Amino acid sequence: MRQQWVHGDKARIHDRAVIIFCGRPERERAAPRAVLTPCGLTRPPGGKGVRCGPMSNKLLNSAAKSAVVTGAGSGIGRAVALALTDAGWSVALAGRRPEPLAETAALAGEHARVITVPADVSRPDDVTALFSSVRECFGRLDLLFNNAGAFGPRSVPVEDLSVADWHSVVDVNVTGAFLCAQAAYRLMKDQDPQGGRIINNGSVSAHAPRPHSVAYTTTKHAMTGLTKSLSLDGRPYRIACGQIDIGNAATDMTEQMRTGILQANGELAVEPVMAAADVARTVLHMAELPLEANVQFATVLATAMPYVGRG
């Protein structure tokens, strides 16, 4: 039996619950009493987050390791979430929209241990609710895959990029990654046995930019600093942190690669892509290492992409 509970921020879905049971979504209005899902998860009246009943505790708090995957509704996040559930992990699927999360959960199969948690990682309250749900449903956290990200407007020169567009990228890619890492760090530090792993989704843009990508490239360089700081500060608590830098995985974000994208010399060129599942296998390998070992940085890219020759 798949066990899932969806909650979200009050601005979007405070007034309803989305319950998925064996792949069949059912919407119901939240009543002024606790809402009980078919698998025993309950929400307090008027509250956000999850309170797990005895049934869900018994089934979810198993020997399986638990993970949070942000941006799990599509692309790399979905591929990593499916790789983890296939390997027996319990996974909290986080993202801004409940419908794509429900699709990921359905793809995971009937026996996957999954909760779906709509959350905007740039909002501190959403992040708090996300990790509270994880603590109550899984009992602990072994992995955060810090994956949610935004590219921002494409083909906009630096002199024309608006401050609002700059903030929209920085708020998700940097602030959101920090908020999730901070919440994960707190859980991992306090749980018994202590420790866990954080894997940040960087990018080959953390090494070499594309034209007209100042906001995205800046945030991915910042992600490298976040990775290094978390790695150092986590040592006393058995918290390992690594980063995977990805180039041209086949996702919605890279769809333009198939038709032609601006190169450093001003030309447009079609670039090769690789399957997101190829990235997911690398993340799974990093995730399943003992905490005494860590992949600090890994680069996974389409073999023939022009990354090495950028500029």
Q: Is 278 helix (H, G, I), strand (E, B) or coil?
A: helix
Q: In the structure encoding, which two tokens stand for residue 42, read together?
A: 């309950």
Spot the catalytic one: 185, 216, 237, 307.
216
Q: Which amino acid is at 174?
A: V
Give the H or E element holding residue 102. helix 98-108
Residue type, 286: M
- The burial of 278, by beta-carbon neighbours within 10 Å (0-12 exposed, 13-18 middle, 19 or more buried), is given as middle
Exposed, middle or buried: residue 269 (CB in 10 Å: 0-12, 13-18, 19+)?
exposed
Q: Which of 244, 276, 262, 250 is nearest to 306 (CA)?
A: 262
Contact predicate 260/268, CB 8 Å: yes
Do 216 and 206 form a contact (C-beta atoms < 8 A)? Answer: no
Instruction: Give me the half-sphere count of Cα atoms (radius 13 Å) on the Cβ side of residue 130.
Output: 33
| Strand partners of residue 199 | 145, 242
185 is catalytic: no
Cα 288 to Cα 265: distance, rounded to the nearest angstrom = 41
What does each C-alpha distance from 290 to 54, 80, 185 come to in angstroms? 31, 19, 17
Residues annotated as catalytic are 216
